[in-house]
Amino acid sequence: MSNLPFGARLRAAMDTRGPLCVGIDPHAHLLAAWDLPDDPHGLATFTYGVVNALADRVAVFKPQSAFFERFGSEGIAVLQEATIRLREAGALVIIDAKRGDIGSTMDGYAAAYLAEKAPLACDALTVSPYLGFGSLQPAIDVARESGAGLFVLALTSNPEGPQFQSARTADGPTVAGAVLDGLRSLNADADGLGSFGAVVGATIKPTEEVLDINGPLLAPGLGAQGGTAEGLAAVFGSAVRNVVPSSSREILGAGPGIGALQDAADRANDAFRTVLGY
Ligand SMILES: O=c1ccn([C@@H]2O[C@H](COP(=O)(O)O)[C@@H](O)[C@H]2O)c(=O)[nH]1
């Protein structure tokens, strides 16, 4: 990892390669569509196929840990190897594992994913704030030290999200608003884009929360979940430039052909470039 903080590396990567984040979600139905067995070998062929096709042309990848974990240690080994190969090719990797626990246990997750020599060292990790924003502090500290980033769930893309995220805290703001406030504080001293981002779905309805956190806004929900490139401006308003648009099934479904995967990624990247003002 370079010495620059995650936010600076992310801005540079998106400026160079475009803003698209490709999600690597090896669903069983995608392995079948690629004519691969639903086992660790199929997982490896699928994952390295995506890596070989796209590692040197896409800025950011977001492997979904669940689809690797379902194959146990063999699946984690593929996640680890893919992360190494992607980073060697100059791409950034956000591992989507949505970790969250009491502070003393967050130490363990930070050591697994965020520390300089972590076994699953990545550029950023998704984390869950539902044990309290302060419970994330160990991950925040280690990320600051190693130059990694975090994406904290704020306004997720799924329809069930508002049940908790739109609820009011005792202090007045919504739960999501309190998460965004916490992130804004963490990014206050950043030189350029901060390293502490929020997950804000591309599918959410117009919202009262202020999305300008001087940090990246990871936006899943595009394609398969119904979000569109054109819709991003309405959702993100003045914060649209900091959006990292993430698409998994929509891109992966174009495979297994390398050219078809590259065309799908290039088309998506072009659409996002236009809408996000690149
Ligand atoms: O709010 C959220 C947070 C995370 N995700 C994850 O992103 C991908 C979306 O996949 P698609 O195939 O592009 O729908 C998946 O890994 C989710 O777990 C999300 O969708 N929404």
At 103-129, the pLDDT tens digits run 999 999 999 999 999 999 999 999 999
- pLDDT beyond 80 at 82: yes
- Which protein residue's CA is at the shortest distance from atom 6 of ligand 1? 220
With the most atoms of ligand 1 within 8 angstroms of its CB, the residue from 20, 22, 25 to mutate is 25
Complex ipTM tops 0.95? yes
Mean pLDDT of 133-138: 98
Distance of CA 32 to the CA centre of its chain: 25
- pLDDT beyond 70 at 182: yes
- Which protein residue's CA is at the shortest distance from atom 10 of ligand 1? 248
Single-letter amino acid, residue 136: L
With the most atoms of ligand 1 within 8 angstroms of its CB, the residue from 30, 156, 157 to mutate is 157
- Which protein residue's CA is at the shortest distance from atom 21 of ligand 1? 157
Q: Tell me, what's the pLDDT at 2? A: 62
- pLDDT beyond 70 at 42: yes
- Which protein residue's CA is at the shortest distance from atom 15 of ligand 1? 64
98 is catalytic: yes
| Average pLDDT, rounded, for the chain | 97
- Which protein residue's CA is at the shortest distance from atom 4 of ligand 1? 220
Question: 122: CA distance to ligand 1 center in Å?
Answer: 18
* pLDDT above 70 as % of the chain: 99
β pairing state of 217-219 and 92-99: unpaired
Q: Tell me, what's the pLDDT at 75? A: 98
Read off the pLDDT of residues 147-166 as tens digits, 9 standing for 90 and up. 999 999 999 999 999 999 99
CA 136 → CA 98, 232, 245, distances in Å? Answer: 12, 28, 24
Mean pLDDT of 1-13: 90
Is 267:40 a contact under the CB 8 Å cutoff? no
With the most atoms of ligand 1 within 8 angstroms of its CB, the residue from 205, 248, 249 to mutate is 248
Asked whether the whole model's pTM tops 0.90, one would answer yes
Torsion of CA 137, 139, 140, 142, to 10 degrees: 120
- Mind listing the domains of the chain with CATH numbers? 6-276 (3.20.20.70)
- pLDDT beyond 90 at 207: no
Q: Tell me, what's the pLDDT at 56? A: 98
- Which protein residue's CA is at the shortest distance from atom 18 of ligand 1? 64
Mean pLDDT of 233-262: 97
- pLDDT beyond 90 at 1: no
Q: Tell me, what's the pLDDT at 206? A: 83
Using the atom order of ligand 1, give the atom closest to the CA of residue 224: 14
Q: Which residues line ligand 1 (CB under 6 A)?
A: 23, 25, 64, 96, 156-158, 199, 201, 220-221, 223-225, 246-250
Using the atom order of ligand 1, give the atom closest to the CA of residue 67: 16
Of 62, 98, 117, 205, catalytic:
98
- Please state, in angstroms and rounded to a whole number, the distance separating the CA atoms of residues 222 and 205: 14
CA angle, residues 59, 65, 67, in degrees to nearest 5: 110
Roughly what angle, to the nearest 10 degrees, separates helices 72-88 and 40-54? 10
- pLDDT beyond 90 at 3: no
Mean pLDDT of 48-71: 98
Question: 221: CA distance to ligand 1 center in Å?
Answer: 6
Dihedral of alpha carbons 222, 224, 230, 232, sign = negative
Is 215:195 a contact under the CB 8 Å cutoff? yes
